[in-house]
Chain A
Amino acid sequence: MAISHILPRPLGEGRGEGIKSAVCGRARYKEEGMALGGYTEKGEGVSLLSGVRDSIRSCIQCGTCTASCPLSFAMDQTPRRMWRMVLAGREEELFRTRTFALCSACYCCTLRCPRGLPLTEAMAALKRLAAGRNLHKGTTLFYRSFLDCVRRSGRLRETPFMMLYFISMKNPYLPIRFVPLAWKLLARKKVSLMPVPPVSRPLEALFRKVEELEEGS
Chain B
Amino acid sequence: MRYLYYPGCSLEGTALEYDTSTRAFLAALGVELREVDQWTCCGATAAQSTSSLLALVLPARNLALAEKLGDRDEILVPCSACYLNLKHVEVKAGRDGRLLGRINEVLAVEGLHWSGGTRVRHLLEVAARGVGPEAIAQGLKRPLGDLVVAPYYGCQCLRPYALFDDPEAPRSMEGLIEATGATVHPWSAGARCCGAAHMSTHRQVALELVTSILRKAKGAHVIVTVCPMCQMNLEGYQKRISKTCGEDLRVAVVYLPQFLGLALGLSPDDVRLDLNLAVTETFRRRVAGLEKAIGSPGASKR
Contact = CB atoms under 8 A, between A and B. Distances in A.
B211 to A, nearest CB: 12
B232 to A, nearest CB: 8
Interface in B224-242: 232, 236-237, 240
Contacts of A23: 160-162, 167
B49 A110 contact: no
B65 to A, nearest CB: 11
Interface of B: 9-10, 12-14, 16, 38-41, 43-54, 56-58, 61, 92, 96, 98-99, 102, 105-107, 109-110, 155-156, 159-163, 165-169, 171, 192-193, 195-198, 200-205, 208-209, 232, 236-237, 240, 274-275, 277
Contact of B200 (A107, A142, A191, A213): A142
A155 B193 contact: no
Interface stretch (A58-66, A76-84, A120-128): A120-128
A99 interface: no
A197 interface: no
Max chain B CB contacts within 10 Å: which of A140, A142, A155, A185? A155
Given A105-B45, A156-B44, A188-B274, A144 B14 contact: no
B80 to A, nearest CB: 11
Given A41-B52, A110-B159, A206-B110, A15 B171 contact: yes
B159 A213 contact: no
A18 B34 CA distance: 32
A32 B44 contact: no
Contact of A127 (B12, B13, B49, B106): B49
A99 to B, nearest CB: 12
Interface of A: 2-5, 15, 19-20, 22-24, 27, 31-32, 34-37, 40-41, 70-71, 73-74, 102, 104-108, 110-111, 120, 124-125, 127-128, 131, 138-140, 142-144, 146-147, 150, 154-158, 165, 177-178, 180-181, 184-185, 188, 190-191, 202-203, 205-210, 213-214
Given A32-B96, A190-B13, A205 B110 contact: yes
A147 B53 contact: no
A105 B208 CA distance: 17
Contacts, number: 197
Given A20-B163, A210-B53, 15 more contacts: A19-B162, A23-B162, A23-B167, A24-B161, A27-B160, A105-B156, A106-B196, A108-B159, A111-B160, A124-B52, A144-B50, A158-B13, A190-B16, A202-B40, A209-B109
B156 A107 contact: yes
A190 B11 CA distance: 10
A143 B9 contact: no
B102 A177 contact: no
A145 to B, nearest CB: 9
A147 B156 contact: no
Contacts of B274: 188
Contacts of B192: 70
A37 B102 CA distance: 11
A85 B106 CA distance: 35
Nearest to B154: A106
Given A71-B193, A155-B40, A206-B61, A147 B46 contact: yes
A3 B168 contact: yes
Contacts of A108: 155, 159, 193
A203 B240 contact: no
**4 residue pairs, one from A and one from B, having the closest CB atoms:** A107-B159, A40-B52, A23-B162, A146-B46
A188 B205 contact: no
